[in-house]
Structure 1
């Protein structure tokens, strides 16, 4: 009788152990599936929409820094945490009603500053801006934006190839909400791969 009871006890224990193993296996599979779902969402939704984005240069307005067909990586996080800085190379939407058109330019003037372009020189708040990004002397100084005071969320941007660039001299200052991100890396062509300064 005792032997039979012991066998029944052992059978129950084995059954409980099997049930625990089965639950553990199901939990392990569910956890793994959840991890891979998160990974897919992170890689294909969160990264391109909120962290990094790939852009391709069209045109010659940023030569010699960037060339047509260069492929760039833009990061979006730093402008969520801080503001664009002078000389940052940015991607922005010049015409908010056209959501698919983007420009790449260099930040020259910051919010609240007065930017003046005169005799191929750029003045910020009356002081000559020391910079050597312009490819060649400016022929088109850009009327009516020869002398502009920027609002609290406005930026003055220029292409490095200033005689072949549609920038703030033509389209006016851009607003912070139009900025998509900061260009940090060129990934193509391989021979020019590297950080963008």
Structure 2
């Protein structure tokens, strides 16, 4: 029996539709893999959940956190970093996957203190035009250990930071906040 011409047309159309679905599924799989790789190794979006970084960052700001540069060099003083909570914060009930954001104040080997409303780095007051207000509590000098950092929020008097839970291990650093993409009226590099 010879297939009818309309049956051949239907079969061709069905095959064409199947190939189209295959192509779309392959494209979706590639896009998902790329998104996963980019988010895991290159950059990821984050939001600001609290006022601890005022006035630099506001609650609800959306940021891009880049993850590559710290594979080549450590964070430097002044960088705004995103990190996983260290062991002390986890003991206090913060989940391991809850990200924090703070500014690097001290690197390994440096001495940090707070006195008379100023933060001191190696005995010299830091010029901090980015803070909400001067810190209102003194903090005795401490030396930052190897492979750790001292971090503080820009809202010095409303920030859960190294003054309260200790040093941040380098291994906990996720990346550096680089770009604010929301809200649109404050879009730009940080």
Say whether the 8 Å CA contact 2:85–2:96 is kept in structure 1. Answer: no
CA distance in 1, matches of 2:72, 2:33: 23
Deviation at 1:191, TM superposition (A): 0.8
The match for 2:155 is 161
Q: Which runs of 5+ in 2 are unaligned?
A: 1-24
The match for 1:73 is 64
Q: Secondary structure at the match of 1:47?
A: helix
Deviation at 1:141, TM superposition (A): 3.2
Q: Does 1:130 align with 2:127?
A: yes
Deviation at 1:127, TM superposition (A): 2.0
Larger Rg: 1
Structure number with the higher helix fraction is: 1
Picking from 166, 169, 185, the partner of 1:172 is 166
The match for 1:102 is 99
The match for 2:109 is 112
CA distance in 1, matches of 2:112, 2:167: 10
Q: Secondary structure at the match of 2:114?
A: strand
Q: Which runs of 5+ in 1 are unaligned?
A: 1-32
Picking from 19, 33, 37, the partner of 1:41 is 33
TM-score normalised over the length of structure 1: 0.75
Bigger mean CA offset, 128-137 vs 33-42: 33-42
CA distance in 2, matches of 1:172, 1:61: 17
Give matches, 1:79-98, under 5 Å.
79-96=70-87, 97=90, 98=95
Q: Secondary structure at the match of 1:49?
A: helix
Deviation at 1:95, TM superposition (A): 3.5
Q: CA RMSD in A?
A: 2.1
Q: Does 1:59 align with 2:80?
A: no
CA distance in 1, matches of 2:66, 2:100: 15
CA distance in 1, matches of 2:63, 2:130: 19
Deviation at 1:59, TM superposition (A): 1.0
TM-score normalised over the length of structure 2: 0.78
Deviation at 1:125, TM superposition (A): 1.6
Say whether the 8 Å CA contact 2:45–2:62 is kept in structure 1. Answer: yes
CA distance in 2, matches of 1:134, 1:36: 44
CA distance in 2, matches of 1:125, 1:104: 23
